[in-house]
Chains A and B, each alone.
Chain A
Amino acid sequence: EAGVTQFPSHSVIEKGQTVTLRCDPISGHDNLYWYRRVMGKEIKFLLHFVKESKQDESGMPNNRFLAERTGGTYSTLKVQPAELEDSGVYFCASSQRRDPTDTQYFGPGTRLTVL
């Protein structure tokens, strides 16, 4: 079974540019999550999709971040315009059930560097 995949693995952009990150969850997983780890700090939750619907987007830092999951399969996270403080590692995770006991499986992450 293929795991969660993310693209690209690394992205280096200049302040003010736009970047789009992609996540492909494990096949059959309705729940998809985005997290990020900034400047070596804690990994923090951004948002949660159930299929194509946003279930919880309480962690989204501001309106420069836009997440979509059209069709309920893969998801994209767009940062527009990027700022220096957006640099970090963005992780995607998926799980089968919307259940606090269910394991979330993480992808390898996208390392974003904003210059």
Chain B
Amino acid sequence: AQSVAQPEDQVNVAEGNPLTVKCTYSVSGNPYLFWYVQYPNRGLQFLLKYITGDNLVKGSYGFEAEFNKSQTSFHLKKPSALVSDSALYFCAVRDFSASKIIFGSGTRLSIRP
């Protein structure tokens, strides 16, 4: 069965520092991996995805994610955090049947000024 784990419920970072939000996955077959963000009182917004090719994927708002096949990880990163990055972040894997997305439990990112 396909699954996604986000080991941290909350990540706290000072503004201007680099941030990492961790994600590991378990899939059979090729992994199709996604990051979504939910800002307060907003819906889920697509950030980036890994399908194939370069292991470093760049997305919206300066975020990037690194696919690591040997460690089955897809960590979200940003070189310099902004207070406006504070939100709930979800890692996800696409089911091979092409229907459902399987989400992690979410990580709340808090950036302090």
Interface residues of B, CB < 8 Å — how many?
24
| Shortest beta-carbon distance from A58 to chain B in Å | 8
Residue pair B49, A45 in contact (C-beta under 8 Å): no
Q: Which residues of A contact B100 (CB under 8 A)?
A: 33, 45, 48, 56, 58-59
Mostly, the B contact residues are loop
CA distance A4 to B98 in the complex (A): 19
**Chain B interface residues toward A at CB < 8 A:** 32, 34, 36, 42-46, 49, 51, 90, 94-106
12 contacts between A and B (CB under 8 A): A6-B43, A42-B105, A45-B101, A55-B99, A56-B97, A91-B44, A101-B49, A105-B46, A106-B36, A106-B43, A106-B44, A108-B43
**Chain A interface residues toward B at CB < 8 A:** 4, 6, 33, 35, 41-45, 48, 55-56, 58-59, 91, 93, 98-101, 103-109
